[in-house]
């Protein structure tokens, strides 16, 4: 938003942190593309950007659920 004439007010520090992580990940995507690196490296940064945005929107991925289940319950015993 630095180059925009519009002002954005973020009142939640968690949202600000998530947006900064998203911005950094997107910047990394462009740098990776400019350097001609493999697409799988781009996908890592893209996933990071999406994960950061989902911290704001409250979306939960299946990976989050599995991590929670296996991290908090005794499964398979």
Higher pLDDT among residues 37 and 71, named by residue = 37
Q: CA-to-CA distance for 1 and 56, rounded, in angstroms?
A: 18
Give one word for 39, left, alpha or beta, with left for phi > 0 and alpha for psi -120 to 50: alpha
Predicted pLDDT at 1: 47
Higher pLDDT among residues 32 and 74, named by residue = 32
Predicted pLDDT at 62: 60
Q: CA-to-CA distance for 35 and 31, rounded, in angstroms?
A: 6
Residue 75 pLDDT > 60: no
Q: What is the pLDDT of residues 20-70, one digit of tens each?
A: 999 999 999 999 999 998 888 888 898 899 889 988 888 876 677 667 667
First CA to last CA across the chain, in angstroms? Answer: 51
């Amino acid at each position: 938003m630095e180059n925009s004439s519009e002002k954005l007010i973020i009142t939640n520090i968690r949202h600000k942190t998530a947006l900064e992580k998203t911005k950094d990940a997107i910047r990394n995507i462009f740098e990776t593309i400019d350097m001609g690196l493999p697409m799988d490296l781009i996908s890592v940064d893209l996933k990071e950007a999406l994960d950061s945005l989902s911290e704001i929107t409250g979306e939960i991925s299946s990976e989050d659920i599995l991590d929670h289940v296996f991290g908090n319950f005794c499964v398979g015993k």
